[in-house]
Chain A
Amino acid sequence: MYDFAYHKPASVADAVKLLSADPDARPISGGQTLLPALKHRLNKPSAIIDLSGIAELRGIRREGDKLVIGALTKHVEVADSAEVKSAIPALAQLAGTIGDTQVRNRGTMGGSVSNNDPAADYPAAVLALDATIVTDKRRIAADEFFLGMFTTALEPGELLVAIEFPIPEKAGYAKMKNPASRYVMAGAFVAKTKSGVRVAINGAGPCVFRQTEMEQALTANWSPDAVASIKQPADDLNSDIHGSAEYRAHLVTVMAKRAVAAAG
Chain B
Amino acid sequence: MNAVTPFEGIGASVKRKEDLRFLSGRGQYTDDINRPGQAYAYILRSPHAHARIAGIDTATAAAMPGVLAIYTGADTAGLGSIPCGWQIHNKDGSPMAEPRHPMLAEGKVRHVGDQVAVVIAESRAQAKDAAEAIGVDYDVLPAAPTLDAAQVPGAPLVHDGVAGNICYDWHIGDKAVNDAAFAAAAKIVTFETTNNRLVPNAMEPRAAIGDYDTTTGEYTLFTTSQNPHVIRLLMGAFVLQIPEAKLRVVAPDVGGGFGSKIYHYAEEAIVTWAAGKLGRPVKWTCERTESFMSDAHGRDHITKCSLALDANGKFLGLRVHTQANMGAYLSTFAPCVPTYLYATLLAGVYTTPTIYCEVTAVFTNTVPVDAYRGAGRPEATYLLERLVDIAAAETGIDRVEIRRRNFIPNDAFPYQTPVALQYDSGNYTATLDAALQAADWAGFEARRAEAAKHGKLRGIGCSTYLEACGIAPSAVVGSLGARAGLYEVGTIRVHPTGSVTVLTGAHSHGQGHETTFAQLVADRLGVPVAQVDVVHGDTAKVPFGMGTYGSRSLAVGGSAMFKAMDKIIAKGRKIAAHLMEASVEDIEFDRGTFRVAGTDRTKALAEISLAAYVPHNYPIEELEPGLEETAFYDPKNFTYPGGCHIAEIEIDPETGKVSVVNFTAVDDVGRVINPMIVEGQVQGGVAQGIGQALLEHAVYDADGQLLSGSMMDYTMPRADDLPLVGVATHTTLCTHNPLGVKGCGEVGAIGSPPAVMNAVVDALKSYGVRHIEMPATPAKIWGILHAGRKLAAE
Chain A contacts to B: CB under 8 angstroms: 1-2, 40-41, 176, 179-181, 183, 240-244, 246-247, 250-251, 254
Other than the known A2-B129, A242-B777, A243-B782, what 20 A-B pairs have Cβ atoms closer than 8 Å?
A: A176-B655, A176-B657, A176-B778, A179-B695, A180-B714, A180-B715, A181-B712, A241-B697, A242-B713, A242-B779, A244-B779, A244-B783, A246-B786, A247-B778, A247-B782, A247-B783, A250-B782, A250-B786, A251-B655, A254-B655
Instruction: With CB as the reference atom, state the residue of chain B lying closest to A176.
Output: B655
Q: Which residues of B contact A242 (CB under 8 A)?
A: 713, 777, 779
**A40 touches which one: B129, B132, B289, B657 (CB < 8 A)?**
B289
> Shortest CB–CB separation between residue B126 and chain A, in angstroms?
11
Check: B140 CB closer than 8 A to any chain A CB: no
Q: How far is the CA of A181 from the CA of B711 in the complex (A)?
A: 6
Q: Which residue of A lies closest to B713 (CB)?
A: A180
- Nearest residue (CB) in B for A254 is B654
Chain B residues with Cβ below 8 Å from A250 are 782, 786
B132 surroundings in chain A (CB, below 8 A): 41
CB contact under 8 A between A241 and B783, given known A40-B289, A176-B778, A254-B655: no
**A–B complex contacts, Cβ < 8 Å, 9 sampled:** A41-B128, A179-B715, A179-B777, A180-B712, A181-B711, A241-B699, A241-B707, A246-B786, A247-B778
User: Nearest Cβ in chain B — how far from A89, in angstroms?
Assistant: 22
A180–B779 CB distance below 8 A: no
Distance between A95 CB and nearest chain B CB, rounded to angstroms: 18
Q: Which residues of B contact A176 (CB under 8 A)?
A: 655, 657, 778
B602 CB–A CB distance under 8 Å: no
Distance from B201 Cβ to chain A, minimum over Cβ atoms (Å): 12
**A180 CB contacts on chain B under 8 angstroms:** 695, 708, 711-716
Q: Which residue of B lies closest to A40 (CB)?
A: B289
Which residues of B from 646 to 666 have beta carbons under 8 Å from A? 654-657
Enumerate chain B interface residues (CB-CB to A < 8 A).
125, 128-129, 132, 289, 654-657, 695, 697, 699, 707-708, 711-716, 777-779, 782-783, 786
Question: In angstroms, how far is the closest chain B Cβ from the Cβ of A238?
Answer: 12
**Chain A interface, DSSP helix/strand/loop, else mixed:** loop
CB distance from A257 to the nearest CB of B (A): 8
A241–B708 CB distance below 8 A: yes
Q: Which residues of A contact B289 (CB under 8 A)?
A: 40
Contact between chains at A179 and B654 (CB < 8 Å): no
Chain A neighbourhood of B714, CB < 8 A: 180
Whole-angstrom distance between the alpha carbons of A251 and B786 in the complex?
12
In the complex, the chain B residue whose C-beta lies closest to that of A253 is: B654
- Min Cβ gap B483→A in Å is 38
**Looking at B654, B708, B779, which has the most chain A CB atoms within 10 Å of its CB?**
B779
Closest A residue, CB atoms, query B785: A250
Q: Closest Cβ of chain A: how far from B723's Cβ, in Å?
A: 16
Of chain A, the residue at the smallest CB distance from B132 is A41
Neighbouring A residues of B695 by C-beta, 8 Å: 179-180
Q: In chain B, what residue has the closest Cβ to A181? A: B712
A181 contacts which chain B residues (CB < 8 A)?
A: 711-713
Which residue, of B128, B654, B711, has the highest number of chain A Cβ atoms within 10 A?
B654
List, in ascending order, chain A residues with CB within 8 A of B779's CB: 242-244, 247
A41: chain B residues at CB < 8 Å are 128, 132
- Given the complex, which residues of A lie within 8 Å of B778, measured CB to CB? 176, 179, 243, 247
Give chain B residues whose Cβ lies under 8 Å from the Cβ of A251: 655
In angstroms, how far is the closest chain A Cβ from the Cβ of B782?
6
Q: Which residue of A lies closest to B699 (CB)?
A: A241
B129 — which chain A residues lie within 8 A by C-beta?
2
> Which residue of B708, B711, B777 has the most chain A CB atoms within 10 A of its CB atom?
B777
Smallest Cβ-Cβ distance to B657: which chain A residue: A176
Question: Closest approach, in angstroms, between the C-beta of B184 and any C-beta of chain A?
Answer: 45
Please name all residues of chain B whose beta carbon is closer than 8 Å to the beta carbon of A1 when the two chains form the complex.
125
- From residue B651, how far is it (CB to closest CB) to chain A in Å? 14
A247 nearest in chain B by CB position: B779
Chain B: minimal CB distance from A70 (Å) = 29
The minimal Cβ–Cβ distance linking B779 to chain A, given in whole angstroms, is 4
Give the residues in chain A near B708, CB-CB below 8 Å.
180, 241
- Residues of A near B125 (CB, < 8 A) are 1
A251 nearest CB neighbor, chain B only? B655
The distance from the CB of B631 to the nearest CB of chain A, in whole angstroms, is 47
**Min CB distance, A1 to chain B, in Å?**
8
**A247→B784 CA distance, assembly (Å):** 11
How many angstroms from the CA of A242 to the CA of B459 in the assembled complex?
Answer: 23
Set of chain B residues within 8 Å of A40, measured between Cβ atoms = 289
Shortest Cβ distance from residue B628 to the other chain A in the assembled complex, whole angstroms: 49
Considering the complex, give the chain B residue whose CB is closest to the CB of A3: B125
Complex CA distance for A110 and B714, rounded to whole angstroms: 28
CA distance A121 to B318 in the complex (A): 52
A244 surroundings in chain B (CB, below 8 A)? 779, 783
Bound Cα distance from A190 to B707, whole angstroms: 33
Closest-CB distance, B632 to chain A (whole angstroms): 46
Chain A contacts for B711, CB-based, 8 A: 180-181
Residues of B within 8 A of A240 (CB): 713
* Separation of A23 and B783 alpha carbons in the complex (Å): 47
How distant is the Cα of A73 from the Cα of B686 in the complex, in angstroms? Answer: 40
CB distance from B122 to the nearest CB of A (A): 15
